[in-house]
Homo-oligomer: A and B are copies of this chain.
Protein backbone atom coordinates (compact mmCIF):
# COMPACT_ATOMS: atom_id res chain seq x y z
CA UNK A 1 0.00 0.00 0.00
CA UNK A 2 2.70 2.43 1.02
CA UNK A 3 4.77 1.53 -2.00
CA UNK A 4 1.89 2.14 -4.36
CA UNK A 5 1.27 5.57 -2.90
CA UNK A 6 4.88 6.44 -3.41
CA UNK A 7 4.82 5.21 -6.97
CA UNK A 8 1.90 7.48 -7.67
CA UNK A 9 3.68 10.40 -6.11
CA UNK A 10 6.63 9.81 -8.35
CA UNK A 11 4.38 9.86 -11.38
CA UNK A 12 2.60 12.98 -10.29
CA UNK A 13 5.87 14.67 -9.45
CA UNK A 14 7.34 13.95 -12.81
CA UNK A 15 4.26 15.27 -14.57
CA UNK A 16 4.25 18.43 -12.56
CA UNK A 17 7.95 18.99 -12.66
CA UNK A 18 7.73 18.64 -16.39
CA UNK A 19 5.17 21.38 -16.37
CA UNK A 20 7.38 23.90 -14.58
CA UNK A 21 10.29 23.09 -16.80
CA UNK A 22 12.66 22.06 -13.99
CA UNK A 23 13.75 18.49 -14.20
CA UNK A 24 14.64 17.71 -10.64
CA UNK A 25 13.46 14.19 -10.51
CA UNK A 26 12.32 12.23 -13.48
CA UNK A 27 10.52 8.95 -13.09
CA UNK A 28 12.84 6.00 -12.39
CA UNK A 29 15.73 8.38 -12.24
CA UNK A 30 18.04 9.55 -9.49
CA UNK A 31 18.02 13.23 -8.59
CA UNK A 32 20.70 14.81 -10.74
CA UNK A 33 21.50 17.80 -8.57
CA UNK A 34 22.94 18.29 -5.13
CA UNK A 35 20.66 16.67 -2.59
CA UNK A 36 18.02 19.20 -1.62
CA UNK A 37 17.88 20.10 2.06
CA UNK A 38 14.37 19.41 3.39
CA UNK A 39 11.83 22.17 3.82
CA UNK A 40 8.67 21.60 5.85
CA UNK A 41 5.28 22.81 4.75
CA UNK A 42 5.26 25.36 7.57
CA UNK A 43 8.71 26.62 6.55
CA UNK A 44 7.54 26.82 2.97
CA UNK A 45 4.67 29.10 3.99
CA UNK A 46 6.89 31.32 6.16
CA UNK A 47 9.55 31.52 3.48
CA UNK A 48 6.96 32.45 0.83
CA UNK A 49 5.83 35.35 3.00
CA UNK A 50 9.36 36.59 3.67
CA UNK A 51 10.29 36.21 0.02
CA UNK A 52 7.23 38.19 -0.98
CA UNK A 53 7.98 41.02 1.47
CA UNK A 54 11.75 41.24 1.19
CA UNK A 55 12.97 39.63 -2.01
CA UNK A 56 10.29 39.75 -4.72
CA UNK A 57 10.80 43.47 -5.29
CA UNK A 58 14.23 42.90 -6.83
CA UNK A 59 14.15 39.22 -7.85
CA UNK A 60 10.59 39.01 -9.19
CA UNK A 61 7.49 37.28 -7.90
CA UNK A 62 8.36 34.18 -9.91
CA UNK A 63 12.09 34.52 -9.07
CA UNK A 64 12.86 35.12 -12.72
CA UNK A 65 14.96 38.15 -11.86
CA UNK A 66 14.46 41.90 -12.26
CA UNK A 67 16.96 44.37 -10.81
CA UNK A 68 18.36 41.46 -8.90
CA UNK A 69 19.48 38.23 -10.57
CA UNK A 70 17.15 35.29 -11.23
CA UNK A 71 16.84 32.86 -8.31
CA UNK A 72 15.64 29.82 -10.19
CA UNK A 73 16.69 26.39 -8.89
CA UNK A 74 19.26 25.90 -11.65
CA UNK A 75 21.15 28.93 -10.32
CA UNK A 76 20.55 28.49 -6.61
CA UNK A 77 21.51 24.81 -6.63
CA UNK A 78 24.70 25.60 -8.50
CA UNK A 79 25.52 28.15 -5.79
CA UNK A 80 24.83 25.73 -2.96
CA UNK A 81 23.30 26.29 0.45
CA UNK A 82 26.25 27.98 2.17
CA UNK A 83 26.86 30.48 -0.59
CA UNK A 84 23.19 31.46 -0.66
CA UNK A 85 23.27 31.90 3.10
CA UNK A 86 26.32 34.15 2.75
CA UNK A 87 24.57 36.34 0.18
CA UNK A 88 21.49 36.68 2.34
CA UNK A 89 23.54 37.41 5.45
CA UNK A 90 26.07 39.86 4.07
CA UNK A 91 24.42 41.26 0.94
CA UNK A 92 26.42 42.22 -2.12
CA UNK A 93 28.08 45.35 -3.49
CA UNK A 94 25.60 45.24 -6.34
CA UNK A 95 22.84 46.40 -3.99
CA UNK A 96 21.66 43.31 -2.09
CA UNK A 97 20.98 44.34 1.53
CA UNK A 98 22.75 42.55 4.38
CA UNK A 99 19.58 40.93 5.73
CA UNK A 100 21.38 38.82 8.28
CA UNK A 101 24.12 41.23 9.36
CA UNK A 102 21.61 44.09 9.68
CA UNK A 103 19.49 41.95 12.01
CA UNK A 104 16.44 41.93 9.77
CA UNK A 105 16.50 38.15 9.38
CA UNK A 106 17.66 35.74 12.08
CA UNK A 107 20.28 33.09 11.20
CA UNK A 108 17.46 30.51 11.28
CA UNK A 109 15.46 32.56 8.82
CA UNK A 110 18.50 33.03 6.57
CA UNK A 111 18.99 29.28 6.51
CA UNK A 112 15.31 28.67 5.79
CA UNK A 113 15.32 31.20 2.94
CA UNK A 114 18.43 29.59 1.44
CA UNK A 115 16.72 26.19 1.46
CA UNK A 116 13.51 27.69 0.07
CA UNK A 117 15.41 29.18 -2.85
CA UNK A 118 16.72 25.76 -3.91
CA UNK A 119 13.18 24.53 -4.60
CA UNK A 120 11.14 25.48 -7.65
CA UNK A 121 9.32 28.78 -7.08
CA UNK A 122 5.73 28.19 -5.98
CA UNK A 123 3.37 29.90 -8.38
CA UNK A 124 1.40 32.62 -6.65
CA UNK A 125 -2.36 32.44 -7.10
CA UNK A 126 -4.44 34.57 -9.45
CA UNK A 127 -6.56 37.45 -8.21
CA UNK A 128 -9.20 38.29 -10.78
CA UNK A 129 -12.26 40.55 -10.88
CA UNK A 130 -14.46 38.37 -8.64
CA UNK A 131 -11.64 38.20 -6.07
CA UNK A 132 -11.12 41.97 -6.17
CA UNK A 133 -14.86 42.55 -5.92
CA UNK A 134 -15.06 40.54 -2.69
CA UNK A 135 -12.61 42.92 -0.98
CA UNK A 136 -14.38 46.13 -1.96
CA UNK A 137 -15.67 48.23 0.94
CA UNK A 138 -17.66 51.41 0.36
CA UNK A 139 -17.56 52.91 3.83
CA UNK A 140 -19.14 56.29 3.09
CA UNK A 141 -21.00 56.70 -0.24
CA UNK A 142 -20.03 59.85 -2.19
CA UNK A 143 -23.32 61.65 -1.50
CA UNK A 144 -22.81 61.31 2.26
CA UNK A 145 -19.33 62.85 2.25
CA UNK A 146 -18.56 66.50 3.07
CA UNK A 147 -19.22 68.91 0.20
CA UNK A 148 -16.77 71.45 1.63
CA UNK A 149 -13.97 71.26 4.21
CA UNK A 150 -15.24 70.73 7.79
CA UNK A 151 -12.04 72.28 9.08
CA UNK A 152 -10.37 75.68 8.95
CA UNK A 153 -7.06 74.06 8.03
CA UNK A 154 -5.77 74.58 4.51
CA UNK A 155 -6.14 71.00 3.33
CA UNK A 156 -4.21 71.75 0.15
CA UNK A 157 -1.22 72.17 2.46
CA UNK A 158 -1.57 68.83 4.20
CA UNK A 159 1.44 66.53 3.94
CA UNK A 160 0.70 62.81 3.67
CA UNK A 161 3.57 60.82 5.14
CA UNK A 162 4.03 57.09 4.65
CA UNK A 163 4.76 55.32 7.96
CA UNK A 164 5.98 52.28 6.21
CA UNK A 165 6.46 49.51 8.72
CA UNK A 166 3.49 50.77 10.74
CA UNK A 167 1.29 50.21 7.66
CA UNK A 168 -0.14 53.68 8.23
CA UNK A 169 -0.29 57.12 6.72
CA UNK A 170 0.05 60.31 8.78
CA UNK A 171 -1.66 63.41 7.46
CA UNK A 172 0.14 66.45 8.82
CA UNK A 173 -1.15 70.02 8.78
CA UNK A 174 1.63 72.27 7.51
CA UNK A 175 0.64 75.13 9.83
CA UNK A 176 0.79 73.20 13.11
CA UNK A 177 3.15 70.41 11.95
CA UNK A 178 0.86 68.04 13.83
CA UNK A 179 -0.99 65.05 12.39
CA UNK A 180 -4.71 65.61 11.82
CA UNK A 181 -5.11 61.89 11.27
CA UNK A 182 -3.05 58.69 11.38
CA UNK A 183 -4.84 56.01 9.41
CA UNK A 184 -4.28 52.29 9.01
CA UNK A 185 -3.91 51.55 5.31
CA UNK A 186 -2.57 48.69 3.25
CA UNK A 187 0.52 46.76 4.34
CA UNK A 188 3.88 48.49 3.65
CA UNK A 189 2.25 51.55 2.16
CA UNK A 190 4.04 52.54 -1.02
CA UNK A 191 2.73 55.82 -2.44
CA UNK A 192 -0.05 58.39 -2.24
CA UNK A 193 -1.80 60.23 -5.02
CA UNK A 194 -4.51 62.88 -4.87
CA UNK A 195 -7.61 63.37 -6.99
CA UNK A 196 -7.69 66.31 -9.44
CA UNK A 197 -9.13 68.72 -6.86
CA UNK A 198 -7.06 67.78 -3.83
CA UNK A 199 -10.04 66.54 -1.81
CA UNK A 200 -8.84 62.95 -1.56
CA UNK A 201 -5.70 60.95 -0.99
CA UNK A 202 -5.45 57.56 -2.70
CA UNK A 203 -3.00 55.24 -0.94
CA UNK A 204 -1.59 51.98 -2.27
CA UNK A 205 -0.01 49.32 -0.08
CA UNK A 206 2.43 46.71 -1.27
CA UNK A 207 -0.34 44.26 -0.49
CA UNK A 208 -2.42 45.79 -3.27
CA UNK A 209 -4.86 47.54 -0.96
CA UNK A 210 -6.11 50.97 -2.01
CA UNK A 211 -7.61 53.35 0.55
CA UNK A 212 -9.53 56.47 -0.40
CA UNK A 213 -9.11 59.18 2.24
CA UNK A 214 -11.49 62.16 2.30
CA UNK A 215 -9.47 65.14 3.52
CA UNK A 216 -12.47 67.43 4.03
CA UNK A 217 -13.45 65.79 7.31
CA UNK A 218 -12.19 67.49 10.44
CA UNK A 219 -10.15 64.33 10.89
CA UNK A 220 -9.54 62.85 7.43
CA UNK A 221 -10.99 59.38 7.13
CA UNK A 222 -11.04 56.37 4.86
CA UNK A 223 -14.28 56.36 2.87
CA UNK A 224 -13.62 53.35 0.64
CA UNK A 225 -11.07 50.59 0.18
CA UNK A 226 -10.34 47.64 -2.07
CA UNK A 227 -7.57 45.10 -2.52
CA UNK A 228 -6.69 44.97 -6.22
CA UNK A 229 -3.77 42.54 -6.18
CA UNK A 230 -1.47 40.53 -3.91
CA UNK A 231 1.42 42.85 -4.61
CA UNK A 232 1.28 46.39 -5.96
CA UNK A 233 3.18 49.66 -6.23
CA UNK A 234 1.08 52.23 -8.04
CA UNK A 235 -2.25 53.99 -8.04
CA UNK A 236 -3.43 56.90 -10.18
CA UNK A 237 -6.64 58.75 -11.06
CA UNK A 238 -8.08 59.96 -14.35
CA UNK A 239 -7.14 63.61 -14.93
CA UNK A 240 -8.07 64.42 -18.51
CA UNK A 241 -10.41 67.31 -19.24
CA UNK A 242 -10.76 68.54 -22.82
CA UNK A 243 -12.48 67.99 -26.13
CA UNK A 244 -13.12 64.35 -25.35
CA UNK A 245 -14.86 65.05 -22.05
CA UNK A 246 -14.20 65.75 -18.38
CA UNK A 247 -12.82 62.61 -16.77
CA UNK A 248 -11.41 64.14 -13.61
CA UNK A 249 -11.97 61.76 -10.70
CA UNK A 250 -14.06 59.40 -12.81
CA UNK A 251 -11.69 56.45 -12.55
CA UNK A 252 -8.71 55.18 -10.60
CA UNK A 253 -6.19 52.57 -11.69
CA UNK A 254 -4.01 50.23 -9.65
CA UNK A 255 -0.81 48.77 -11.10
CA UNK A 256 -0.06 45.29 -9.78
CA UNK A 257 3.20 43.42 -9.36
CA UNK A 258 1.32 40.17 -8.86
CA UNK A 259 -0.84 39.07 -10.55
CA UNK A 260 0.61 40.83 -13.59
CA UNK A 261 -2.33 43.14 -14.26
CA UNK A 262 -3.86 46.52 -13.72
CA UNK A 263 -7.27 47.14 -12.25
CA UNK A 264 -9.58 50.00 -13.16
CA UNK A 265 -11.80 51.29 -10.35
CA UNK A 266 -14.57 53.82 -10.04
CA UNK A 267 -12.75 56.95 -8.88
CA UNK A 268 -15.17 57.97 -6.15
CA UNK A 269 -16.21 54.59 -4.74
CA UNK A 270 -13.27 52.32 -5.74
CA UNK A 271 -15.78 49.85 -7.16
CA UNK A 272 -13.73 47.43 -9.32
CA UNK A 273 -14.67 47.80 -12.98
CA UNK A 274 -12.12 45.99 -15.09
CA UNK A 275 -8.95 43.90 -14.87
CA UNK A 276 -6.44 43.80 -17.72
CA UNK A 277 -3.52 41.37 -17.93
CA UNK A 278 0.02 42.49 -18.73
CA UNK A 279 1.36 39.00 -19.56
CA UNK A 280 3.41 39.47 -22.69
CA UNK A 281 6.62 39.39 -24.67
CA UNK A 282 9.71 41.46 -23.96
CA UNK A 283 10.78 44.25 -26.28
CA UNK A 284 13.97 43.32 -28.09
CA UNK A 285 14.30 39.68 -27.12
CA UNK A 286 10.69 38.71 -27.89
CA UNK A 287 10.86 36.34 -24.87
CA UNK A 288 7.68 35.35 -23.07
CA UNK A 289 7.30 36.91 -19.62
CA UNK A 290 4.69 35.37 -17.32
CA UNK A 291 4.91 38.14 -14.73
CA UNK A 292 5.45 41.60 -16.20
CA UNK A 293 4.93 43.94 -13.26
CA UNK A 294 3.25 47.30 -13.44
CA UNK A 295 5.51 50.05 -12.09
CA UNK A 296 4.80 53.80 -12.32
CA UNK A 297 1.49 55.04 -13.71
CA UNK A 298 0.74 58.67 -14.55
CA UNK A 299 -2.40 60.25 -16.00
CA UNK A 300 -2.06 62.05 -19.32
CA UNK A 301 -3.32 65.61 -19.80
CA UNK A 302 -3.41 65.26 -23.61
CA UNK A 303 -5.74 62.30 -23.94
CA UNK A 304 -8.05 60.39 -21.60
CA UNK A 305 -5.19 57.97 -20.95
CA UNK A 306 -2.99 56.50 -18.33
CA UNK A 307 0.66 55.95 -19.03
CA UNK A 308 1.49 52.57 -17.57
CA UNK A 309 5.06 51.29 -17.26
CA UNK A 310 5.02 47.53 -17.81
CA UNK A 311 8.34 46.66 -16.32
CA UNK A 312 9.88 43.40 -17.52
CA UNK A 313 8.54 43.56 -21.07
CA UNK A 314 9.85 47.11 -21.47
CA UNK A 315 6.60 48.49 -22.86
CA UNK A 316 4.81 51.69 -21.96
CA UNK A 317 1.08 51.06 -22.29
CA UNK A 318 -1.18 54.00 -23.00
CA UNK A 319 -4.49 52.89 -21.58
CA UNK A 320 -7.34 54.97 -22.94
CA UNK A 321 -10.16 55.06 -20.39
CA UNK A 322 -12.70 56.91 -22.53
CA UNK A 323 -14.68 53.76 -23.25
CA UNK A 324 -13.97 50.88 -20.90
CA UNK A 325 -16.11 48.46 -22.91
CA UNK A 326 -14.02 49.14 -26.00
CA UNK A 327 -10.73 49.64 -24.18
CA UNK A 328 -7.92 51.02 -26.32
CA UNK A 329 -4.32 50.32 -25.39
CA UNK A 330 -1.26 51.52 -27.28
CA UNK A 331 1.70 49.30 -26.46
CA UNK A 332 4.80 51.43 -26.93
CA UNK A 333 8.08 49.53 -27.28
CA UNK A 334 10.68 51.12 -24.98
CA UNK A 335 13.27 49.06 -23.06
CA UNK A 336 13.36 46.80 -19.96
CA UNK A 337 12.83 47.22 -17.02
CA UNK A 338 10.61 50.26 -16.92
CA UNK A 339 10.30 51.52 -13.40
CA UNK A 340 9.57 55.09 -12.30
CA UNK A 341 9.45 58.40 -14.13
CA UNK A 342 7.77 61.76 -14.47
CA UNK A 343 6.67 64.59 -16.73
CA UNK A 344 8.84 67.21 -18.32
CA UNK A 345 7.89 70.79 -17.43
CA UNK A 346 5.22 71.09 -20.15
CA UNK A 347 3.68 67.73 -19.20
CA UNK A 348 3.73 66.62 -22.81
CA UNK A 349 6.68 64.24 -22.49
CA UNK A 350 6.92 61.43 -19.98
CA UNK A 351 10.43 60.28 -19.06
CA UNK A 352 10.62 56.71 -17.77
CA UNK A 353 13.64 54.94 -16.30
CA UNK A 354 14.47 51.64 -18.03
CA UNK A 355 16.69 50.50 -15.23
CA UNK A 356 18.05 47.22 -16.58
CA UNK A 357 19.03 49.02 -19.78
CA UNK A 358 20.53 52.16 -18.17
CA UNK A 359 18.31 54.31 -20.31
CA UNK A 360 15.58 56.88 -20.00
CA UNK A 361 12.67 56.39 -22.41
CA UNK A 362 10.92 59.53 -23.66
CA UNK A 363 7.25 59.19 -24.50
CA UNK A 364 5.29 61.82 -26.40
CA UNK A 365 1.91 61.79 -24.66
CA UNK A 366 0.38 64.00 -27.34
CA UNK A 367 1.28 61.75 -30.27
CA UNK A 368 1.27 58.50 -28.28
CA UNK A 369 4.70 57.46 -29.49
CA UNK A 370 8.18 56.82 -28.22
CA UNK A 371 10.42 59.80 -29.00
CA UNK A 372 13.72 58.14 -28.17
CA UNK A 373 15.79 56.15 -25.69
CA UNK A 374 18.61 58.03 -23.96
CA UNK A 375 21.72 56.33 -22.53
CA UNK A 376 22.34 57.30 -18.92
CA UNK A 377 24.63 56.31 -16.03
CA UNK A 378 23.87 53.06 -14.26
CA UNK A 379 20.42 52.33 -12.93
CA UNK A 380 18.42 55.56 -13.19
CA UNK A 381 15.87 56.06 -10.39
CA UNK A 382 14.35 59.52 -10.74
CA UNK A 383 11.22 59.02 -8.62
CA UNK A 384 9.25 61.71 -10.44
CA UNK A 385 12.49 63.52 -11.35
CA UNK A 386 13.24 67.26 -11.18
CA UNK A 387 12.40 69.88 -13.82
CA UNK A 388 14.59 72.97 -13.93
CA UNK A 389 15.06 75.84 -16.38
CA UNK A 390 18.76 76.37 -17.01
CA UNK A 391 20.05 79.61 -18.55
CA UNK A 392 22.28 77.74 -21.00
CA UNK A 393 20.38 74.51 -21.79
CA UNK A 394 16.80 75.62 -21.30
CA UNK A 395 14.28 73.28 -19.68
CA UNK A 396 15.99 70.17 -18.27
CA UNK A 397 14.73 66.99 -16.63
CA UNK A 398 17.18 65.61 -14.04
CA UNK A 399 17.43 62.13 -12.56
CA UNK A 400 19.61 60.54 -9.90
CA UNK A 401 20.88 56.96 -9.92
CA UNK A 402 20.99 53.90 -7.74
CA UNK A 403 24.08 52.66 -9.55
CA UNK A 404 26.11 55.86 -9.93
CA UNK A 405 27.01 58.80 -7.68
CA UNK A 406 25.67 61.33 -10.11
CA UNK A 407 22.75 63.38 -11.36
CA UNK A 408 22.13 63.51 -15.10
CA UNK A 409 20.16 66.30 -16.77
CA UNK A 410 18.39 65.87 -20.11
CA UNK A 411 17.24 68.64 -22.47
CA UNK A 412 13.45 68.55 -22.91
CA UNK A 413 12.69 71.45 -25.24
CA UNK A 414 12.89 70.31 -28.88
CA UNK A 415 11.28 73.56 -30.04
CA UNK A 416 13.54 76.25 -28.59
CA UNK A 417 16.62 74.24 -27.62
CA UNK A 418 16.70 71.52 -30.28
CA UNK A 419 20.48 71.05 -29.99
CA UNK A 420 20.02 69.80 -26.38
CA UNK A 421 16.71 68.01 -26.76
CA UNK A 422 16.74 64.39 -25.53
CA UNK A 423 20.45 64.47 -24.79
CA UNK A 424 22.22 64.16 -21.45
CA UNK A 425 23.68 67.67 -21.39
CA UNK A 426 25.27 67.42 -17.96
CA UNK A 427 26.37 64.76 -15.51
CA UNK A 428 26.86 66.20 -12.04
CA UNK A 429 29.07 64.09 -9.79
CA UNK A 430 28.01 63.72 -6.16
CA UNK A 431 30.63 63.85 -3.36
CA UNK A 432 32.12 60.53 -2.20
CA UNK A 433 31.95 57.15 -3.89
CA UNK A 434 29.01 55.11 -5.15
CA UNK A 435 25.36 55.65 -6.03
CA UNK A 436 22.39 54.72 -3.93
CA UNK A 437 20.14 57.67 -4.65
CA UNK A 438 16.41 57.04 -4.67
CA UNK A 439 14.96 60.52 -5.11
CA UNK A 440 15.59 63.95 -6.57
CA UNK A 441 13.20 66.85 -6.20
CA UNK A 442 12.74 70.55 -6.75
CA UNK A 443 10.09 73.27 -6.65
CA UNK A 444 9.64 76.54 -8.57
CA UNK A 445 10.31 78.52 -5.37
CA UNK A 446 13.86 77.33 -4.80
CA UNK A 447 17.06 77.88 -6.78
CA UNK A 448 18.17 74.32 -6.02
CA UNK A 449 17.32 70.72 -6.54
CA UNK A 450 17.84 68.14 -3.82
CA UNK A 451 19.17 64.57 -4.05
CA UNK A 452 19.23 61.79 -1.44
CA UNK A 453 21.58 58.80 -1.27
CA UNK A 454 19.57 56.37 0.77
CA UNK A 455 20.91 53.08 -0.55
CA UNK A 456 24.60 53.96 -0.47
CA UNK A 457 26.32 51.33 1.70
CA UNK A 458 28.56 54.01 3.28
CA UNK A 459 26.85 55.15 6.48
CA UNK A 460 28.21 58.63 6.17
CA UNK A 461 26.89 59.05 2.63
CA UNK A 462 23.45 57.56 3.20
CA UNK A 463 23.01 60.11 6.01
CA UNK A 464 23.67 62.98 3.60
CA UNK A 465 21.72 64.76 0.93
CA UNK A 466 22.80 67.46 -1.49
CA UNK A 467 21.68 70.75 -2.99
CA UNK A 468 22.51 71.33 -6.65
CA UNK A 469 22.32 74.86 -8.08
CA UNK A 470 19.86 74.98 -10.99
CA UNK A 471 21.96 77.56 -12.84
CA UNK A 472 25.52 76.32 -12.33
CA UNK A 473 24.54 72.63 -12.13
CA UNK A 474 27.01 72.18 -9.27
CA UNK A 475 26.63 70.60 -5.84
CA UNK A 476 26.64 73.65 -3.53
CA UNK A 477 25.71 72.14 -0.21
CA UNK A 478 25.84 68.87 1.71
CA UNK A 479 23.25 68.28 4.40
CA UNK A 480 24.25 65.92 7.20
CA UNK A 481 21.86 64.06 9.45
CA UNK A 482 21.86 65.53 12.98
CA UNK A 483 23.80 63.19 15.25
CA UNK A 484 20.81 62.45 17.51
CA UNK A 485 18.88 60.99 14.58
CA UNK A 486 19.93 57.47 13.64
CA UNK A 487 18.35 56.70 10.26
CA UNK A 488 19.06 57.55 6.63
CA UNK A 489 17.75 60.46 4.61
CA UNK A 490 15.09 59.57 2.08
CA UNK A 491 12.62 61.35 -0.22
CA UNK A 492 11.60 65.02 -0.39
CA UNK A 493 8.57 67.16 -0.80
CA UNK A 494 7.86 70.84 -0.32
CA UNK A 495 5.02 72.62 1.36
CA UNK A 496 2.54 74.35 -0.95
CA UNK A 497 4.38 77.71 -0.85
CA UNK A 498 7.71 76.07 -1.60
CA UNK A 499 9.23 77.60 1.51
CA UNK A 500 9.84 74.32 3.32
CA UNK A 501 11.77 71.27 2.18
CA UNK A 502 10.68 68.12 4.03
CA UNK A 503 12.91 65.07 4.18
CA UNK A 504 12.58 61.81 6.13
CA UNK A 505 14.93 60.33 8.69
CA UNK A 506 14.11 56.73 7.73
CA UNK A 507 14.41 54.73 10.91
CA UNK A 508 12.23 52.46 13.02
CA UNK A 509 11.67 55.50 15.22
CA UNK A 510 12.35 58.20 12.67
CA UNK A 511 11.69 61.88 12.14
CA UNK A 512 10.74 64.45 9.55
CA UNK A 513 13.27 67.23 9.02
CA UNK A 514 12.17 70.55 7.56
CA UNK A 515 14.71 72.85 5.89
CA UNK A 516 14.58 76.24 4.24
CA UNK A 517 15.22 75.27 0.58
CA UNK A 518 17.07 78.51 -0.15
CA UNK A 519 19.11 79.14 3.04
CA UNK A 520 19.47 75.39 3.85
CA UNK A 521 18.69 76.15 7.51
CA UNK A 522 16.98 73.42 9.56
CA UNK A 523 13.59 74.91 10.50
CA UNK A 524 11.88 72.11 12.33
CA UNK A 525 12.06 68.45 13.27
CA UNK A 526 8.88 66.42 13.68
CA UNK A 527 9.34 63.55 16.11
CA UNK A 528 7.16 61.43 18.29
CA UNK A 529 6.26 57.81 18.96
CA UNK A 530 3.96 57.80 15.91
CA UNK A 531 6.80 58.70 13.50
CA UNK A 532 7.51 55.05 12.65
CA UNK A 533 9.75 54.48 9.61
CA UNK A 534 8.68 57.57 7.67
CA UNK A 535 9.44 57.32 3.95
CA UNK A 536 7.44 58.99 1.13
CA UNK A 537 5.91 62.44 1.61
CA UNK A 538 3.14 63.92 -0.50
CA UNK A 539 1.97 67.51 -0.21
CA UNK A 540 -1.63 67.72 -1.44
CA UNK A 541 -1.11 70.77 -3.66
CA UNK A 542 2.17 69.60 -5.20
CA UNK A 543 0.81 66.10 -5.79
CA UNK A 544 -2.44 67.35 -7.36
CA UNK A 545 -0.48 69.70 -9.63
CA UNK A 546 2.42 67.37 -10.44
CA UNK A 547 4.98 69.88 -9.20
CA UNK A 548 8.52 68.52 -9.32
Contact = CB atoms under 8 A, between A and B. Distances in A.
A485 interface: no
B369 A326 contact: yes
A42 to B, nearest CB: 10
Best-buried of A7, A19, A38 by chain B (most CB within 10 Å):
A19
Nearest to A329: B329
A432 interface: no
Given A8-B31, A12-B25, A328-B331, 19 more contacts: A4-B35, A8-B36, A9-B13, A11-B44, A12-B120, A13-B13, A14-B41, A16-B19, A126-B288, A129-B285, A130-B285, A259-B288, A274-B281, A277-B281, A325-B333, A326-B330, A327-B333, A329-B329, A329-B330
Number of copies of this protein chain within its complex? 2
A196 interface: no
A12 B13 contact: yes
Interface string A1-32: 00011111111111111111100111100110
Contacts of A286: 128-130, 132-133, 272, 274-275
Interface in A432-483: none
Given A119-B12, A129-B287, A330 B332 contact: no
A368 interface: yes
A16 B14 contact: no
Contact of A281 (B6, B8, B44, B128): B128
A68 B5 CA distance: 32
Interface string A285-311: 111100000000000000000000000
20 contacts: A6-B6, A6-B9, A11-B39, A11-B41, A11-B44, A11-B119, A14-B41, A19-B122, A26-B41, A128-B287, A133-B286, A274-B281, A274-B286, A277-B277, A323-B369, A325-B332, A326-B330, A326-B331, A328-B331, A329-B330
A190 to B, nearest CB: 24
A327 B326 contact: no
**Category for how many chain A residues contact B:** 35 or more
Contacts of A125: 21
A402 B128 CA distance: 32
A370 interface: yes
Contact of A326 (B18, B279, B288, B332): B332
A368 B25 contact: no
Contacts of A6: 6, 9
A24 B11 CA distance: 12
A342 B20 CA distance: 39
B370 A325 contact: yes
Contacts of A328: 328-331, 368
Contact of A27 (B41, B126, B369): B41
